A and B are shown apart, each in its own frame.
Chain A
């Protein structure tokens, strides 16, 4: 309880189950990436004091989670953005780094303006800035203002989380930041957008109309599908992972949306189930995304490039990184028995049960469609990480740097190994972890009749990952041992068959080629642009070389954001001509102002 700088303002703290959960996620991941930073820092330029900024970044994130009133929350929130902005600017010599940092900070600042307006409307309703007061007066505010507050909050927190229409800063800022920073930003910082959204829709506002949940579900589904589609089209490893953060935020939003909709319809059990799905996925995504970004950082420092088309054959040269990256890829593709599958399973269950128990057809169909979108996302995620892992680690190295790559130091391998083990552990211990999360979520957020968050879906369908984790190795061993009964066989090493000629790296499938079928199948959404340049040998019809360049049209950047900024700048240029330099015009302005003032004063 500190006296704030404005009259009637007091800085308070509020630590309940939800903030404890997020604080735990923040501390654990930042500890691991901190160790990784010590190791990885050697390879990259970092300005003096970046270590201190890193600690301030973690401290600011903790501040956001434990803030008890709007002012402290905003101070911590924007400090977090500012410090991460500075860290993103580490390699400020490159133009795209400056542009990415600028886009990042401007969008975050605009988001903060939305959050400030939402907070002030809430303060207008309850007459104070302290969160506890807001919860007390939650049911007092009328529906109209509550909806305005909800939409403002959704835009503000959604931008920070990287929800689809507001996500463009994420794939620009994360790849250029140093590996440990983007691991922390992607793994943990965007979750604070989810934290804000949860507080808004469960603590500070009374159960609103069903369209709130539907809106979040729609945006979540869009984020998931488009996120993974754009990830598939990327061949820069870190941009691919950044787009995957958008996808996973979409999956978390599906959980949150289902919870909000269930709360509007008064289905207590579903709220508990959906909340557990969202929160469990928050923890899981923090784990495997940080792991994958650290892997990408390791590749970047070992090979010197992140372009998938110039990697390859790293599994033999960097075995440990490959192993942990494989575990991370399997986890993010939601494969049993890892943690990704557990939280996605929960999300599927909550969507299905919500669909079943919702009364009118239209509210029932949306969750089920969202389930279909989640299924599509899951399958595309598998495709994307087969590409990411396969093209970068397997077969022949596609460039000399990749061939000369060497395994990174222990300081980088240990954090990756711990997170890989954590993925497996979270998967196997899914049931106790989810029940623990259930006890953390404050009762206020659950409607009175909601049971504790258990893995058992209310109406059937159980998942015991340890069981499956036991069955898989046993049957695997059987598959390898039983044929031995038919006698020993030998394995001879030979060249891969390449229609009779010696295999070169150029024969291998590139990332672009791997994603081609999916790019063509989804060309209406992704709108690929392709240009082929054929160079003939001088004067003859014989082709000397063919240049193939393909990229996907940045729909959101071009048609939404650039259109907006261009119009704004054009308007500014027109208004700028008002200052035309002539004293006579300025005196005319003054005289006009006087006339207007006198007319008003009549």
Chain B
């Protein structure tokens, strides 16, 4: 796994290059993202095949779960960086971004990508916490990039809530370290995840319960689980679209990855019941909280943000239900959500730049003005709301099936899942239909959007295919992830 440090190094180097090369920063960041996509996929598919691997003296640890997160971050960062090229050029043209700022945009963008790659690769839980904190800090200034009141407000809340949340996460981490140091002795390896996982049964149960609660609230804040999700709609709504793509597609998954790692520790110590029920509860709550905000919404990107809250809830619910089928479907759903949400944000971004606003009241008749983004928006909405034949339906069907076959609370979870997705479907389709079709009162102008087809077309095509047939590599990958998540010592 010598590639792991390279995967973190490339975006770091790119970030520095962007600052110095100024004008050609866009090209550098695009090239870097393509390289990381290649390396990321190699690492990911490698981790799916072979069981867990340590490298760099135990500093780096890659198993199927981290492989999946690496794959998701690689894909989403590639989409974000490549789309950023067109988006930033349009923003500069309309004067939203000053030309001098462009290099700093790509600097922070590549830095945050580096941080997001670091999270799944680091074995030490302390360093993982530091990486997650770094993702928050690097994206904070990106959220505030547009220098208008709302963006600053969103960034401030994003930073403050993120910091407080992660502080509690750190406290939970600290308690785990205390419990581990008793069981494993003083060595620095006391925070290495794989050792902790191996000796999980030796840890003090009452401490681990408090630690898991703290970590769930801490990392859950960053993962956008309710009721700690309040920063998410503001941040996604105000950030430049490529940043929203990165936030929704990659960052939420990294934070959820942290929660899952601790979930595995907790299952080692306390048995499956405690942490699964907690995850199930918070997942169901997130789905239900997202429903009213989707039904009554006035901004397109906030609508997509609340959909992210719902889908993070669905993944948490799936892991809470447990069992090989639900965990397979949870992994599958993380990838589906990342792809579908990226497409939706790209389409929303294109429309936003075309119409100059994202208020749903003033977006109409997009099908005539920008047919591809409008079609992408509609198909993406159908995909994200779990309509067959798209892949999110398949993963949600798997989760619901596991729920119906599982314990009573899992059954309740599955019913909440089905009811929640139907209500969100009604709400989102109502808004998106008014945007996509009909005659447009707004005065849209042609926003330049080169090779848009690949950004919107490719992911949607992938989602359509995966709805019915999974390539074997991905299938074993998800099975391996299910194996990692499901193993009860």
Using a CB–CB distance below 8 Å, which chain A residues touch chain B? 2-9, 11, 71, 74-75, 77-79, 82, 89, 92-93, 95, 98, 101-102, 105-106, 109-110, 112-113, 116-117, 120-121, 123-124, 129, 568-569, 571-576, 579, 581, 583, 585-587, 589-590, 592-594, 597-598, 600-602
Given A102-B430, A576-B292, A594-B217, 5 more A-B residue pairs with CB atoms under 8 Å apart are: A6-B397, A79-B389, A572-B295, A594-B168, A601-B274
Among all A-B residue pairs, the 7 with the closest Cβ atoms: A572-B292, A92-B437, A597-B213, A78-B388, A601-B213, A575-B292, A120-B404
CB contact list, B27-50 vs A, under 8 A = none
Smallest beta-carbon distance A397→chain B, Å: 32
Judging by beta carbons under 8 Å apart, are B405 and A590 in contact?
Answer: no
Judging by beta carbons under 8 Å apart, are B217 and A586 in contact?
Answer: no
Residue from the set A6, A124, A579 with the largest chain B CB neighbour count within 10 Å: A6
Q: Which residue of A lies closest to B274 (CB)?
A: A601
Query: Which stretch, B69-77, B83-91, B154-162, touches the partner chain A?
Result: B154-162
Residue numbers in A under 8 Å from B469 (CB-CB): 2-3, 5
Smallest beta-carbon distance B315→chain A, Å: 16
Judging by beta carbons under 8 Å apart, are A75 and B389 in contact?
Answer: yes
Judging by beta carbons under 8 Å apart, are B161 and A587 in contact?
Answer: yes
Judging by beta carbons under 8 Å apart, are A105 and B429 in contact?
Answer: yes
Judging by beta carbons under 8 Å apart, are A106 and B425 in contact?
Answer: yes
Decide yes or no whether B291 CB sits under 8 A from chain A: yes
The answer for the CA separation of A48 and B157 in the assembled complex, in Å, is 47
Smallest beta-carbon distance B468→chain A, Å: 6
Residue numbers in B under 8 Å from A3 (CB-CB): 469
Q: Which residue of B lies closest to A589 (CB)?
A: B227
Residue numbers in A under 8 Å from B468 (CB-CB): 4-5, 11, 75
Residue numbers in B under 8 Å from A78 (CB-CB): 387-389, 393
Smallest beta-carbon distance A177→chain B, Å: 14
Judging by beta carbons under 8 Å apart, are B400 and A116 in contact?
Answer: yes
**A-B contact list, 22 entries, CB within 8 Å:** A5-B466, A6-B397, A8-B325, A75-B389, A75-B467, A82-B387, A98-B433, A105-B429, A106-B429, A109-B426, A113-B418, A113-B419, A120-B404, A123-B401, A574-B292, A575-B293, A583-B157, A593-B217, A593-B220, A594-B168, A600-B278, A601-B209
Given A7-B328, A600-B213, residue A124 in contact with residue B404 (CB < 8 A): yes
Decide yes or no whether B216 CB sits under 8 A from chain A: yes
Judging by beta carbons under 8 Å apart, are B160 and A587 in contact?
Answer: yes
Given A110-B422, A120-B400, A583-B157, residue A597 in contact with residue B278 (CB < 8 A): yes
Residue numbers in B under 8 Å from A6 (CB-CB): 325, 328-329, 332, 394-395, 397-398, 401
Q: Which residue of B lies closest to A587 (CB)?
A: B164
Given A7-B324, A109-B425, A569-B296, residue A116 in contact with residue B213 (CB < 8 A): no
Judging by beta carbons under 8 Å apart, are B292 and A571 in contact?
Answer: yes
Residue numbers in B under 8 Å from A82 (CB-CB): 382, 387
Residue numbers in A under 8 Å from B405 (CB-CB): 123-124
Decide yes or no whether B240 CB sits under 8 A from chain A: no
Judging by beta carbons under 8 Å apart, are B212 and A71 in contact?
Answer: no
Which of B295, B324, B404 has a CB less than 8 Å from the CB of A121? B404
Judging by beta carbons under 8 Å apart, are B217 and A579 in contact?
Answer: no
The answer for the CA separation of A594 and B231 in the assembled complex, in Å, is 17
The answer for the CA separation of A102 and B432 in the assembled complex, in Å, is 10
Smallest beta-carbon distance A56→chain B, Å: 11
Residue numbers in B under 8 Å from A105 (CB-CB): 429
Decide yes or no whether B459 CB sits under 8 A from chain A: no
Judging by beta carbons under 8 Å apart, are B228 and A590 in contact?
Answer: yes
CB contact list, B397-414 vs A, under 8 A = 397-398, 400-401, 403-405, 414
Smallest beta-carbon distance A196→chain B, Å: 15
Decide yes or no whether B258 CB sits under 8 A from chain A: no
Smallest beta-carbon distance B109→chain A, Å: 26
Residue from the set A105, A573, A594 with the largest chain B CB neighbour count within 10 Å: A594
Judging by beta carbons under 8 Å apart, are B430 and A601 in contact?
Answer: no
Number of residues from B at the complex interface, CB < 8 A = 76
Which of A95, A106, A587 has a CB less than 8 Å from the CB of B426? A106
The answer for the CA separation of A332 and B152 in the assembled complex, in Å, is 67
The answer for the CA separation of A384 and B425 in the assembled complex, in Å, is 38
Residue from the set A7, A11, A117, A583 with the largest chain B CB neighbour count within 10 Å: A7
Residue numbers in A under 8 Å from B209 (CB-CB): 601-602
The answer for the CA separation of A109 and B165 in the assembled complex, in Å, is 37
Smallest beta-carbon distance A84→chain B, Å: 13
Decide yes or no whether B244 CB sits under 8 A from chain A: no
Residue numbers in B under 8 Å from A594 (CB-CB): 168, 213-214, 217
Smallest beta-carbon distance B16→chain A, Å: 34
Decide yes or no whether B221 CB sits under 8 A from chain A: yes
Residue numbers in A under 8 Å from B421 (CB-CB): 113
Smallest beta-carbon distance A598→chain B, Å: 5
Residue numbers in A under 8 Å from B293 (CB-CB): 572, 575-576, 579
Decide yes or no whether B444 CB sits under 8 A from chain A: no
Residue numbers in B under 8 Å from A117 (CB-CB): 400, 404, 415, 418
Smallest beta-carbon distance A599→chain B, Å: 9
Judging by beta carbons under 8 Å apart, are A576 and B296 in contact?
Answer: yes
Residue numbers in B under 8 Å from A110 (CB-CB): 422, 426
Which of B210, B296, B389 has a CB less than 8 Å from the CB of A572? B296
Residue numbers in B under 8 Å from A112 (CB-CB): 388
Given A6-B325, A98-B433, residue A123 in contact with residue B404 (CB < 8 A): yes
Smallest beta-carbon distance B297→chain A, Å: 9
Given A5-B391, A572-B295, A587-B160, residue A102 in contact with residue B429 (CB < 8 A): yes
Residue numbers in A under 8 Å from B475 (CB-CB): 5
Judging by beta carbons under 8 Å apart, are A589 and B438 in contact?
Answer: no
Residue from the set B388, B419, B433 with the largest chain A CB neighbour count within 10 Å: B388
The answer for the CA separation of A92 and B415 in the assembled complex, in Å, is 34
Which of B228, B231, B367 has a CB less than 8 Å from the CB of A593? B228
Beta-carbon contacts of B283-321 to A below 8 Å, as 1s and 0s? 000000101110110000000000000000000000000
Judging by beta carbons under 8 Å apart, are A98 and B437 in contact?
Answer: yes
Judging by beta carbons under 8 Å apart, are B161 and A590 in contact?
Answer: yes
Decide yes or no whether B252 CB sits under 8 A from chain A: no
Residue numbers in A under 8 Å from B80 (CB-CB): none
Smallest beta-carbon distance A69→chain B, Å: 12
Decide yes or no whether B349 CB sits under 8 A from chain A: no
Beta-carbon contacts of B435-465 to A below 8 Å, as 1s and 0s? 0011100000000000000000000000000
Which of A93, A106, A571, A575 has a CB less than 8 Å from the CB of B438? A93
Smallest beta-carbon distance A99→chain B, Å: 9
Given A7-B324, A74-B397, A571-B292, residue A597 in contact with residue B467 (CB < 8 A): no
Smallest beta-carbon distance A139→chain B, Å: 20
Residue numbers in B under 8 Å from A601 (CB-CB): 209-210, 212-213, 274
Decide yes or no whether B470 CB sits under 8 A from chain A: yes
Residue numbers in A under 8 Å from B220 (CB-CB): 593
